[in-house]
Structure 1
Amino acid sequence: MNFLYPGFLFALLAIAIPIVIHLFNFRKFKKVYFSNVQFLSAVKEQNSSREKLKHLLILLSRTLAIIFLVLAFARPFIPSSNQSINNASGSLVSIYIDNSYSMESLNKEGSLLEEAKRKAKEIVNSYSLTDQFRLVTNDFEGKHQQVVNKEELISMLDGIKISTAARSLQQVMNRIETDASANKNEATYLISDFQQTFVGKQPIKKNESIDYSFIKLNANSLPNISVDSVWSISPVHLPNQPEQFVVQLRNYSEEDASDIPLQLTINKQQKAISNVKIAAGKTLKDTLSFSGLKGGWQKATITIKDFPLTFDDQLNFSFKVAQDLNVLSISSNPSEKYIRSLFSADPYFKLTEMPESNIRYSAFEDYSLIVLNSLKEPSSGLAQQLKLYVENGGSVVVFPDLDVNAANFTSFLTSLSLPGVQQLNIGPAIASTIDLKHSIFNDVFEQVPQNIDLPVVNRYFSYAERNSSNKENILKLPLNRFLFARYNIGAGKIYLSASSLSDKDGNMALHPVFVPLMFKIAFASTKEQQLYYTTGKDNLLESERISLSGNQTLKLVSEDFEVIPEVRQTPGKTLLYVADQVKRAGFYDLKKADELLSVVAFNDDRLESDMHYANENEIKALFGKQNIAFYNSKKDALSMNVELKNKSSELWKLCLILAVVFLAIEIGLIRFFKLSKNI
């Protein structure tokens, strides 16, 4: 016999109390003078022996009552004969409960989550008192990784609720095996509906020292349509300008869906509506057009109506409508007109001009785009500041002065990690070619003619290319030379031209392609925030570089929730680590003190939207020759051979009953054991 709480056995010292009471509770007899001593002696002997017997029986009853009461608190049990002698410390049992959105589905037993809890309790109750348990859910919470006893685990099971986190089977097994104990016999039970998206299609590896048992709950396949994703067609978001967003819907059922209402709201105002039809098992893209947005951050929501599953019927996203875009032009020629005329034509662009002789380096970070036009003597200090600006995410366009000192200009270019000048080419006008597949020209041309008119040059630099891995040609010249190219450097970009904007060098500044080229470069220089993130999956958020003093912090704030992320500064951006703190879909304001920096949108993972389930053969095929046990939810703990292997006989109830019985005997002896008198 073993004890679950052997420390309570020290309370057996309490049996000394009734013994002491018995020893010091002698009854004093009063002397009675009687004429015949013979009769007095007979009465005395008879009463003394009966009273001594009564006291001994009471002492025995009290002692046994205390002993069995102490034993009841020590929780005695008789281990099963099948338990190994070397396994006296018990087994470690891990139980995974799938609490994803799909477990909200109903079957004949109620919700799948409640059925999973009942199955888990059956398994727990079939193990012995020396066994230890660990609970795992999709939340991957630290408290669920603690080793607990039977009663504590059952209490934890009652507190499990549906979670927004979606995991894969391999992730769950990796989590369990991370805390595997080498000193215990470990068994693991995974209780789930085993969606196909949860199981996956890749082979799964497991720890051979752990016995896995898969318990599949019987779930019904349900029709479901989800708002899958959204993206913007508009290159930039301007106040009171037309906007276009593409939304993708997915039909996971085997039947066509028709008359699905689709609605777009921005800042709680309806902006676009549609009615769509989606074929079975297909996706549909629908373009939503609207206008009339004001400047600032926009909180947008796309909503459909679909039953019975509704968790994926809404998609949140956020974006910023900028009031303006700051452009800096640095030139050695005060009469320069092309850059000024280009960006002054649209009020969205706020152009600032600086002469080459008076450049304020500290103001560079205030501009999204810097244009260098025909600099006569570019300095090393300018090159150093521009390189820092580009590595932090800025964009620079360089139009050279072809009459500049080649050696000086080469030194400036190499300081920016650009190729140096090889030679100046002068000759007849040469026509360029255009890379229409480049991202700069996306949505620029509705139709491209066969004999397209392109810029021509009669003077241009050829550059000594050393490493072209970060180079993208936009406008090309013969002999594998470029007229205009982009170099990706750090987090930013530098656009280098082979010719100047002067009329004597070519017609690039006067050509119609110059306007969309420069505008698309300016639009691309803005740092767009990601439209939305996924709860439980995206733990790293990216933002424009945020300057913080020593005692300042950032926080994500929703209506009744606040997160303080870990902040890391990288070139060109600020990274925010939120770990697993964001568990609910919605909008979160990124604030520095009371200043609103941006709005971040979160959505639930669409991994749970596909309500198709893997069968036993599909699951076993992923494990290959690895041994696993697979059970249907209709089978109980006895059918899984858990009861016979692990059940121990508990004796605490018997001890408690015996303690009450001996207390009753004591009371009976005191009240009904009468000492007869011999007269």
Structure 2
Amino acid sequence: MQFKHPEILYFLFLLVIPILVHLFQLRKFKKEYFTNVKLLRQLQQETRKSSTLKKWLLLATRLLLLALLIFAFAQPFFTAKESKNKENELIILVDNSFSMQAKGNKGELLKRSIQELLESLPETQNFSLLTNNNVFWDVDIKTIQSELQKIEYSALPFELDFLLTQIDSKKPNTKKDYLIITDAIGTNSKKIEDLNQTNQVYFINPVAENKNNISIENVTLSQVLDAFYEIKITLKSYGKTEEAIPVAVYNKEALIAKSQVTFDKTEKELKINIPKNSFHGKVTLQDNSLQYDNEFYFSISQPKKQNAIIIGTEEKNKFLNKILTENEFVVTNTELTKLNYSSIENQQTIILNEISEIPQALGTTLLSFYNKGGTIILIPSIENNIQNLNNFCKNFGSFKFLNTTDTEKQITKISFNHPIYKNVFEKKVSNFQYPKVTKSFIPSGNGLPILQFEDNTNFAISISNKIGNLFVFTAPINKQNSNFQNSPLIVPTFYNMSQSKTNSKTNTFTIGENETIIIDAILSKDEVVSITNKQNSFIPQQQIINAKVKLAFGDYPELAGNYNIKQTENTIEEISFNYPRTESDLNNTNTTLFNKTTTVNSIETVLNDLHSKRTDTALWKWFIIGTLLFLLIELLIQKFVK
């Protein structure tokens, strides 16, 4: 037991006073007995004994009464179990990812958690609060009440380790108590175990009542027809879905198509035809669970003619000119000696068609072209020097040519999953008229196979740096060396190799994945492009590459939707951004992450637990009660003890 005011205990010396008074009252006097009272002697002795007992009882009562009163004023107490942690800072981590949009028994999980914070935290409680994308340091509930009520759902995941690192950086030498509010959907942490060993960690796990959910996973351009685009909508069902789900396609605000999908399996694909025009719209569905994944924005640009240069002889270039028609391509045919190097940067595709040598200057120029997002197609000549070919290829990776072979080979294997053949075949073909080559090069090194010979060596491969593409054939395909020009494969192979990425896909990006795009734009020295829509605007990271601009989006924008890339007031390109679908599976809960923390059901429980563990047990009330009790005992002694 300890005392807040131990100096008051000096007043215990006052206990001497009732002792002195008692001793004075018990003084012995000499007694003389007269004859007329001798008969009362025995009765007087008995009365005197009773009076002495009463005085001793009164003395004891008064001593205890006075002692208890002095102890009460000294304010005795027992030290709390966690008295050393009284000054710990309260850190609250709130998950505001999209999975917290689900409904619990009292409404949306995030909104209910915010409301409980507002109702439970006392106005005098100082704390720091962090969400996926918001930080409030050293505040009280009254100060940030309006900000808390405006917290929106974030496309950023709840990364617990990142938040803990942020806290350690801001408050490195302070003791902390943690309150973590999350549904633990897809949440992982390497720091939580160490955190729990050195801090008091409380975990509140809001749980959704309905864990069934349907998500639009992707929208892709599956086929380009004469008057229509065919789009493929990929949907995914989490949990059990029995009813047909309505799906609608909008171009801006106009409804273009409606359909329904019934889930007899987890993932479904829905194909819809839309008019072959520039498209700036979205696909929507209706379900009773999460809302953020019920919309998918996508844009399709007006097809542009692609600029291509074919370097080779007129005779050998004929088959390529029949594939790359003037309706979709602006083709320049040139021999190597007449090539204008400065025109390369304005092209989308460069085809090296069996030229006998690749000059070093051309190789350097094409490497720069490739790094800026260009496409190169290399068809070797049997007259090529292997060392010359390898000097060119080494700039793009580890692929190289070993030597030549005169063994006739058949082209028997198609990589149906390669992007070049995406949506070309309705089904995998295993028996077709195999093209063949007479002479070829033996390749080595890395490259994504497109077509392969019967001996599993590569006939055509692709190499990419994510923005540029290099396609390499390992054999000449002139009619003297191969009948590949007569194969049905020739048209989709070269057409898709030469077609720009923006003409063969939707302009769709995922927020937070730091994707890039290269657009055609000529900017002055201090000029920048911006990305805007009615609700949002930002300036992306950008790099000028001659007549092109490379844009990197980082974590922007924060809101999904359709956007315009603008140079001053002119729209250069239409693009769309969507939230990542990482929160769609409400059953993807990490059930073991918080096993070693203190799991509670409410914020009020946390505050009460901290208060009870860290508040000293005051005893002065009990001493006051004891004082009053002995005062009552004294009154009873005075009245009833004779």
Structure 2-normalised TM-score?
A: 0.71
Corresponding position: 1:187 with 2:187: no
Counterparts in 2 of 1:357-506, with a 5 A limit?
Answer: 357-403=337-383, 419-420=400-401, 422-423=403-404, 425=406, 430-437=409-416, 439=418, 440-446=420-426, 452-458=432-438, 460-463=439-442, 465=443, 467-470=444-447, 472=449, 474-476=451-453, 482-488=458-464, 491-506=467-482
For residues 184 and 83 of structure 2, the distance between their equivalents in structure 1, rounded to whole angstroms, comes to 42
1:125 aligns to what SS in structure 2?
Answer: coil
Q: 1:91 to 1:394 in 2, by over 3 A?
A: same
Match of 1:147 among 122, 138, 143: 138
- From 332, 337, 350, the counterpart of 2:313: 332
Cα distance in 1 for residues equivalent to 2:374 and 2:412: 27
How far did 1:385 drift?
1.3
1:15 aligns with: none
Provide the rounded CA distance (Å) in 1 between the counterparts of 2:459 and 2:177. 68
Match of 2:298 in 1: 317
Taking the aligned partners of 1:409 and 1:102, their CA distance within structure 2 comes to 53
Distance in 1 (alpha carbons) for counterparts of 2:243 and 2:166? 44
Alignment match, 2:209: 221
Deviates more, 1:95-104 or 1:268-277: 95-104
Deviations 1:467-496 (A, max 9, x none): 512363624265x65544444478533333
Identify the match of residue 330 of structure 2 among 350, 369, 372.
350
1:540-551 map, 5 Å: 540-544=514-518, 548-551=523-526
Structure 2 partner of 1:23: none
Q: 1:226 to 1:155 in 2, by over 3 A?
A: same
Aligned to 1:660: none
Is residue 272 of structure 2 the alignment partner of residue 289 of structure 1? yes
Could you tell me how far apart the structure 2 residues matched to 1:309 and 1:359 are? Answer: 57
CA 1:115–1:249 in structure 2 vs 1: closer, same or farther (change >3 Å)? Answer: closer
CA contact (8 A) 1:383 1:412 kept: yes
CA drift at 1:189: 1.5
Residues 566/633 of structure 1: CA separation in 2 closer, same or farther (3 Å cut): same
Cα distance change, pair 403–455 in 1 and its aligned pair in 2 (3 A): same
- Are 2:257 and 1:272 equivalent residues in the alignment? yes
CA contact (8 A) 2:212 2:238 kept: yes
CA deviations on 1:278-332 (whole Å, 9 max, x unpaired) are: 36xx6341322214222x4x22211122336544322222233423232221113
Task: Give 2:179's aligned amino acid.
Answer: Y
The 1:432/1:503 distance shift into structure 2, 3 A limit, reads same
SS in 1 for 2:243: strand
Q: Write the distance in 1 (CA, Å) between the matches of 2:526 and 2:263.
A: 53
Residues 528-575 of structure 1 show CA distances to partners (whole Å, capped at 9, x for unaligned) of 67754455xx15231115665431223221103211223357999834
User: Which residue in 1 is equivalent to 2:242?
Assistant: 257
Task: Report the alpha carbon displacement of residue 230 of structure 1 after superposing the two structures with TM.
Answer: 1.6
CA separation of 1:592 and 1:643: change in aligned 2, threshold 3 A: farther
The 1:496–1:214 alpha-carbon spacing in structure 2 relative to 1, beyond 3 Å, is closer
Q: Is the 8 A contact 2:233 2:269 kept in 1?
A: yes
Partners of 2:78 and 2:508 in 1: how far apart?
Answer: 56
SS at match of 1:278: coil
1:520/1:103 CA distance change after superposition, 3 Å: closer
CA separation in 2, counterparts of 1:578 and 1:491?
16
The residue identity in structure 2 corresponding to 1:181 is K
| Counterpart residue number, 2:499 | 523
Q: What CA distance in whole angstroms lies between the structure 2 residues aligned with 1:220 and 1:496?
A: 53
SS of structure 2 residue aligned to 1:287: strand
CA deviations 1:350-382 (Å, max 9, x no partner) are 322123221122222332222222324542222
Distance of 1:80 and 1:588 partners within structure 2: 65
Residue identity matched to 1:94: I
2:127 pairs with 1:133: yes
| In 1: Cα distance, 2:107 partner to 2:378 partner | 68
Instruction: Describe the SS at the equivalent of 1:622.
Output: coil
Q: Is the 8 A contact 2:477 2:483 kept in 1?
A: yes
Which residue matches 2:227? 240
Give the counterpart of 2:572 among 597, 600, 605: 597
TM-score normalised per structure 1: 0.67
The question of whether the paired residues in 1 share the 8 Å contact of 2:80 and 2:614 is answered with yes
Instruction: Report the Cα distance in structure 2 between the residues aligned to 1:453 and 1:415, rounded to whole angstroms.
Output: 36
Whichever residue aligns with residue 329 of structure 2, its letter is F
Q: Give the whole-Å Cα distance in 1 for the aligned partners of 2:171 and 2:392.
A: 62
Determine the structure 1 residue equivalent to 2:92.
95
For each residue in 1:36-66, what CA deviation from the matched residue of structure 2 results, as whole angstroms up to 9, or x when unmatched? xxxxxxxxxxxxxxxxxxxxxxxxxxxxxxx
Given the superposition, is the C-alpha separation of residues 455 and 635 from structure 1 closer, same or farther in structure 2, using an over 3 Å criterion? same
- Tell me: CA distance 1:448–1:125, structure 2 relative to 1, closer, same or farther (3 Å): closer
Check conservation: 1:456, 1:506, Cα contact below 8 A.
Answer: yes
CA contact (8 A) 2:412 2:452 kept: yes
| 3-state DSSP of counterpart to 2:480 | coil
CA distance in 1, matches of 2:234, 2:565: 26
Choose 1 or 2 for highest CA Rg: 2
Q: Is residue 2:566 matched to residue 1:588?
A: no
CA pair 269-325 structure 1, distance change in 2 beyond 3 A: farther
Paired amino acid for 2:410:
A
Question: 1:11-90 maps to which residues of 2 (within 5 A)?
Answer: 82=80, 90=87
CA offsets 1:132-157 (integer angstroms, 9 cap, x no match): 42111232x24x1x223x46656466
Separation (CA, whole Å) in 2 of partners of 1:514 and 1:135: 61
Aligned partner of 2:54 in structure 1 is: none
Pairwise CA distance, 1:453: 1.8
CA contact (8 A) 2:121 2:141 kept: no
SS at match of 2:293: coil
Q: Is the 8 A contact 1:238 1:323 kept in 2?
A: no
Identity, in percent, stands at: 18
Q: 1:164 aligns with which of 128, 132, 154?
A: 154
Residue identity in the other structure for 2:210: L
Equivalenced residues, count:
540
Question: How is 1:568-583 mapped onto 2 (pairs within 5 angstroms)?
Answer: 574-579=550-555, 582-583=557-558
Question: Residue deviations 1:198-245, cap 9 Å, x none?
Answer: 55699953423221112345x55136543331232526x577344131
Q: Distance in 1 between matches of 2:316 and 2:452?
A: 27
Q: Which amino acid aligns with 1:422?
A: N
Partner SS, residue 364 of structure 1 = helix
| Cα root mean square deviation, aligned | 4.3
Find the counterpart in structure 2 of residue 645 from structure 1: 614
CA distance in 1 between counterparts of 2:227 and 2:586 reads 42
SS in structure 1 opposite 2:193? coil
Aligned partners of 1:338, 1:158: CA distance in 2, in Å?
Answer: 66
CA change 1:380–1:134 in 2 (3 A) is same
Contact residue 330 and residue 372 of structure 1 kept, 8 A: yes
Contact 1:250 1:284 in 2 (8 A): yes
Give distance in 2, aligned partners of 1:595 and 1:562.
Answer: 15
Q: 1:133 to 1:550 in 2, by over 3 A?
A: same
Residues in 2 aligned to 1:647 and 1:605: alpha-carbon distance in whole angstroms: 50
Structure 1 CA distance for aligned equivalents of residues 479 and 102 of structure 2: 72
Give deviations 1:430-450, integer Å, cap 9, x for gaps: 533333446134444446676
